[in-house]
Chains A and B, each alone.
Chain A
Amino acid sequence: MWAIPMLIAGGLFAGGVLMIAWERIPAWRAADGEEFQTAFAHTLRRADRLQPALLVVSLISTAGFALTAEGAARGLALLASAGFLIVLVGSGAWLVPIQRRLVEPGSTAPASELDELRSQWLLGHLLRTVVALAALTLAVTAAVS
């Protein structure tokens, strides 16, 4: 019951964050400040409607799978759900406040501060991608254990 939503939502979520890391981050690194802020705001507008929902479904279904599984499958699924939880909490506590600052309309923050926030967000997203990939691999391994 839990395996199918866990694998589908987990795969879609991890694939999405991987594509941002692989395709968007190099473009955003190369962009100047204003160009970055515009492109980043556009992406956020779309990402914020899909990625958190996929992450929550991944977390709930992986936790549900862990509760109903036994042995190694349970342990692996618990680790996977911990990974998804870290991504959720880390995004909410660290990356969302940075995002808000970066796309704040009429922001008067100096360019150096915005550059620092951009670097922090890009680093945070790369860390989130690594954790999401690890959580997906653990969830997949749990499903076949």
Chain B
Amino acid sequence: MSGALRLATIVMLTAGGLFTGGVVWYAWERIWIWRRLALEDYAVDFRRSLRKADPALPILLVICACAATAFAWQTSGTARMLAIAGILPLATILVSSIVLAEPINNQFRRRPEGVVPPDAERLRRVWRRFHLVRTALALSAFALIVTAVSYA
């Protein structure tokens, strides 16, 4: 394995692991708690949580996807095919988060803390379902890039 490929692999696996672990953590812990909160409490907690997660998780996702692209570029055969198959769900997460989740996030973000947006119950439900799908995609992407490394 060349130095450049080794570096791309380390960055891809580390960022990918942290991103997937973070997304799984949200699905496992925050979503479970948010389902049980009154809408007023949910609006406060969700807005505060966004402030922390929003820069961190997309950055890890983009770093992982870029490193996976560099990995695919430098490999061939099964390793390259699996890496490309892993990049696709990552790209899907990125685009769908911008198109589907961001408008919901903005409904909470642009209001003062404690103000519940209209139709908040539906927004909470849609966001929860979207995040569970995003989690399944992240897990499959991470499993694919980890398997790709074993063929490199």
Interface residues of chain A, those whose CB is within 8 Å of chain B, are: 3-4, 7-8, 10-16, 18-20, 22-23, 26-27, 42-43, 46-47, 50, 133, 136-137, 140-141, 143-144
Contact = CB atoms under 8 A, between A and B. Distances in A.
Contacts of A137: 10, 14
B1 A15 contact: no
B89 interface: no
A38 to B, nearest CB: 10
A140 B28 contact: no
B29 A15 contact: no
Q: How would you classify the secondary structure of chain A's contact residues: helix, strand, loop or mixed? A: helix
Contacts, number: 94
Contacts of B53: 19, 22-23
Nearest to B45: A27
B146 A26 contact: no
Contacts of B56: 22-23
B32 to A, nearest CB: 6
Contact of B21 (A3, A13, A47): A13
A140 B18 contact: no
A3 to B, nearest CB: 6
A7 B13 CA distance: 8
Q: How would you classify the secondary structure of chain B's contact residues: helix, strand, loop or mixed? A: helix
Interface of B: 1, 6, 9-10, 13-14, 16-26, 28-29, 32-33, 45, 48-49, 52-53, 56, 142-143, 146-147, 149-150
Contacts of B23: 15
Contact of B149 (A13, A14, A19, A143): A143
Nearest to A26: B52
| Most chain A CB within a 10 A radius of its CB, from B1, B6, B28, B147 | B28
A8 B52 CA distance: 24
B33 A15 contact: no
Contacts of A43: 29, 33
Contact of B10 (A12, A47, A141): A141
Nearest to B30: A23
B10 A4 contact: no
A140 B26 CA distance: 23
Nearest to B60: A15
B150 A11 contact: no
Closest 5 CB pairs of A and B: A15-B21, A11-B17, A16-B25, A46-B29, A23-B52
11 contacts: A8-B17, A14-B17, A16-B22, A16-B25, A16-B28, A18-B21, A19-B21, A19-B25, A47-B29, A140-B9, A141-B10
